[in-house]
Amino acid sequence: MELDLIDVQFDLQNIKPRELEEAFEDPFAVRFLPDNERSDNASRYYTLGRTVADRYLFLSFSTDGKSARVVAAREMSDAEQKFYDRKYAEFR
Protein backbone atom coordinates (compact mmCIF):
# COMPACT_ATOMS: atom_id res chain seq x y z
CA MET A 1 0.00 0.00 0.00
CA GLU A 2 1.33 3.44 -0.91
CA LEU A 3 1.65 6.13 1.79
CA ASP A 4 0.21 9.59 1.15
CA LEU A 5 2.21 12.10 3.21
CA ILE A 6 1.18 15.28 1.40
CA ASP A 7 -0.05 18.07 3.72
CA VAL A 8 0.29 16.00 6.89
CA GLN A 9 -0.69 17.66 10.17
CA PHE A 10 2.30 16.42 12.16
CA ASP A 11 6.05 17.04 12.14
CA LEU A 12 7.89 14.81 9.68
CA GLN A 13 11.17 15.92 11.30
CA ASN A 14 10.23 14.05 14.50
CA ILE A 15 8.88 10.92 12.80
CA LYS A 16 10.55 10.02 9.52
CA PRO A 17 8.56 8.60 6.57
CA ARG A 18 10.66 5.40 6.72
CA GLU A 19 9.58 4.90 10.35
CA LEU A 20 5.93 5.21 9.29
CA GLU A 21 6.51 2.56 6.63
CA GLU A 22 8.20 0.27 9.16
CA ALA A 23 5.27 0.62 11.59
CA PHE A 24 2.86 -0.25 8.76
CA GLU A 25 4.99 -3.25 7.77
CA ASP A 26 5.32 -4.50 11.37
CA PRO A 27 3.95 -8.07 11.22
CA PHE A 28 2.83 -7.76 14.86
CA ALA A 29 1.13 -4.36 14.49
CA VAL A 30 -2.24 -4.00 16.19
CA ARG A 31 -4.92 -2.36 14.01
CA PHE A 32 -8.28 -1.01 15.10
CA LEU A 33 -11.23 0.00 12.92
CA PRO A 34 -13.55 2.59 14.51
CA ASP A 35 -17.32 2.14 14.37
CA ASN A 36 -18.04 5.38 12.47
CA GLU A 37 -19.55 5.17 8.99
CA ARG A 38 -17.77 7.56 6.62
CA SER A 39 -19.43 9.34 3.71
CA ASP A 40 -16.28 9.17 1.53
CA ASN A 41 -16.19 5.33 1.68
CA ALA A 42 -12.66 5.38 3.11
CA SER A 43 -11.89 3.32 6.18
CA ARG A 44 -10.19 5.01 9.16
CA TYR A 45 -7.74 2.89 11.13
CA TYR A 46 -5.58 3.23 14.21
CA THR A 47 -2.36 1.23 14.36
CA LEU A 48 0.10 0.42 17.09
CA GLY A 49 3.38 -0.57 15.41
CA ARG A 50 7.08 -0.83 16.07
CA THR A 51 9.98 0.27 13.90
CA VAL A 52 13.20 -1.63 13.20
CA ALA A 53 14.95 0.62 15.76
CA ASP A 54 12.36 -0.40 18.42
CA ARG A 55 10.45 2.87 18.32
CA TYR A 56 6.81 2.38 19.29
CA LEU A 57 4.42 4.47 17.15
CA PHE A 58 0.70 5.20 17.17
CA LEU A 59 -0.68 5.97 13.69
CA SER A 60 -4.08 7.13 12.55
CA PHE A 61 -4.77 6.79 8.83
CA SER A 62 -7.52 6.45 6.28
CA THR A 63 -7.36 4.15 3.30
CA ASP A 64 -9.26 3.38 0.15
CA GLY A 65 -7.45 0.05 -0.21
CA LYS A 66 -4.80 1.38 -2.61
CA SER A 67 -3.18 4.17 -0.62
CA ALA A 68 -3.02 5.15 3.04
CA ARG A 69 -3.25 8.79 4.09
CA VAL A 70 -1.60 9.28 7.47
CA VAL A 71 -3.70 11.64 9.60
CA ALA A 72 -1.65 11.55 12.81
CA ALA A 73 1.51 9.92 14.15
CA ARG A 74 3.11 10.01 17.59
CA GLU A 75 4.98 7.92 20.14
CA MET A 76 2.80 5.36 21.92
CA SER A 77 1.70 6.14 25.44
CA ASP A 78 2.87 3.79 28.21
CA ALA A 79 -0.53 2.07 28.28
CA GLU A 80 -0.52 1.60 24.48
CA GLN A 81 3.00 0.17 24.60
CA LYS A 82 2.01 -2.31 27.32
CA PHE A 83 -1.02 -3.35 25.24
CA TYR A 84 1.21 -3.80 22.15
CA ASP A 85 3.76 -5.82 24.13
CA ARG A 86 1.00 -8.05 25.54
CA LYS A 87 -0.35 -8.74 22.03
CA TYR A 88 3.19 -9.29 20.71
CA ALA A 89 3.84 -11.88 23.45
CA GLU A 90 0.71 -13.80 22.34
CA PHE A 91 2.19 -14.28 18.84
CA ARG A 92 5.63 -15.39 19.92
Whether pLDDT at 75 is above 90: yes
Amino acid at position 80, single letter = E
pLDDT reading at 42 higher than 70: no
Which tens digit of pLDDT belongs to each residue from 77-87?
999 999 999 99
At 22 the pLDDT is 93
pLDDT at 71: 84
Q: Whole-model pTM? A: 0.83
Read off the pLDDT of residues 44-66 as tens digits, 9 standing for 90 and up: 789 999 999 999 999 988 887 78
Judged against a pLDDT cut of 80, whether residue 67 lies above it is answered with yes
Following DSSP, what letter does each residue of 10-58 receive, concatenated? S-TTTS-HHHHHHHHH-TT-EEE--S---TT--EEEEEEEE-TT--EEE
